[in-house]
Amino acid sequence: MRLRSVELEVPDSPAAAAFMRDVWGLAPAGTRSRTTYLRGTGDHPYLLALTEAASPAIATITFAGSAGEVDALHARVVAAGVPAPARVVEFDDPGGGGGFVVRGAEGQTFRLVAEVARAEPLADRLGPIALTHVVLNALDRDACAKFVIDALGFRLADRTRHMTFVRCNNAHHALAFAHAELPALNHVAFEMADIDAVMKNIGRLRDLGLAPAWGPGRHGPGNNVFAYFITPFGASMEYTAEVQRVDDSYRVGTPEDWKWPPNRIDHWGVSTRDNARLGAAEKTFRFRP
């Protein structure tokens, strides 16, 4: 399975879509009713859906795979004792495809979609390619991780003092759950071609008056290069590159394995972090009841 897209609800969705297109670097992928779709340069039909709503919310997180993979996961969900997940014949989004919808341990909504056809990649080396991970704040991060491991076949990748990382292919993590007092969207990370693409986009956003809220730097778990920005509509978004590839021989790390070097909040020792802005962003996009 591959992480495909995130579907957000947001007031003034045209302004949010314009930012994600004109500033962040996504490309138009169509509109339907109250929803604007934006894509990356990779082969997913879209990465981000922005639906007009009275208040911000994270509606769904969508994973894509073959019809066989999705059917096998549906059977796994049923076998795990989860209340019968709703089957959808055809999702009404760019790319189409059927699948099912399942609720996570703290109200998260996950969609599993059987890919019908892949989109034609775009020739733009500097633009975001795809989503590489979504981090969710959780009251009980280990219960949330256990749900996606047991019901959706994820594998535990690493566990730090605050976060539990899980993967659904050989990318170090597609989801992570961060300990928090409120279930909500922590951030969405976009995969870039390389460090140059991350750095050149930081420079481009600086020219527009936007400084990273954290970064650039290099993470511990996943070893990826990162730069976080807070969008004008209140979401924390990350440019990232060089996410570690792992297989079943990867040793799952523990909090003891993952400590920052003294006085550091990245492994290069160059980044600063705006905790107030990041903390506010992490409370903005909540799950609908």
> For binding to Fe ion (CB under 5 A), which residues are involved?
189, 238
Nearest approach in angstroms of CB 54 to Fe ion is 28
Q: Which of 147, 144, 150, 143 is nearest to 79 (CA)?
A: 150
The residue sitting closest to Fe ion, measured at its beta carbon, is 189
Nearest approach in angstroms of CB 135 to Fe ion is 6
Q: Which is nearer to Fe ion, 184 or 189 (CB)?
A: 189
DSSP letters, 95-118, are T---EEEEE-TTS-EEEEEE-S-P
The answer to whether 135 and 31 have CB atoms below 8 angstroms apart is: no
Q: Which is nearer to Fe ion, 109 or 223 (CB)?
A: 223
Nearest approach in angstroms of CB 108 to Fe ion is 17
The two beta strands, 48-52 and 35-39, are: antiparallel
Nearest approach in angstroms of CB 110 to Fe ion is 18
Nearest approach in angstroms of CB 172 to Fe ion is 11
Q: Which is nearer to Fe ion, 7 or 282 (CB)?
A: 282
Nearest approach in angstroms of CB 32 to Fe ion is 29
Q: Give the integer Cα–Cα distance in Å for 75 and 100.
A: 11
Q: Give the integer Cα–Cα distance in Å for 107 and 252.
A: 27
The answer to whether 222 and 160 have CB atoms below 8 angstroms apart is: no
Nearest approach in angstroms of CB 39 to Fe ion is 20
28 half-sphere exposure, CB direction, 13 A CA radius? 5
Q: Give the integer Cα–Cα distance in Å for 113 and 116.
A: 9
Burial of 254 per CB tally in 10 Å (0-12, 13-18, 19+): exposed
Q: Which is nearer to Fe ion, 191 or 238 (CB)?
A: 238
Q: Which is nearer to Fe ion, 102 or 189 (CB)?
A: 189
Angle between helix 141-152 and helix 67-79 axes, rounded to 10 deg: 120
Q: Which helix (H) or strand (E) holds 156?
A: strand 155-159
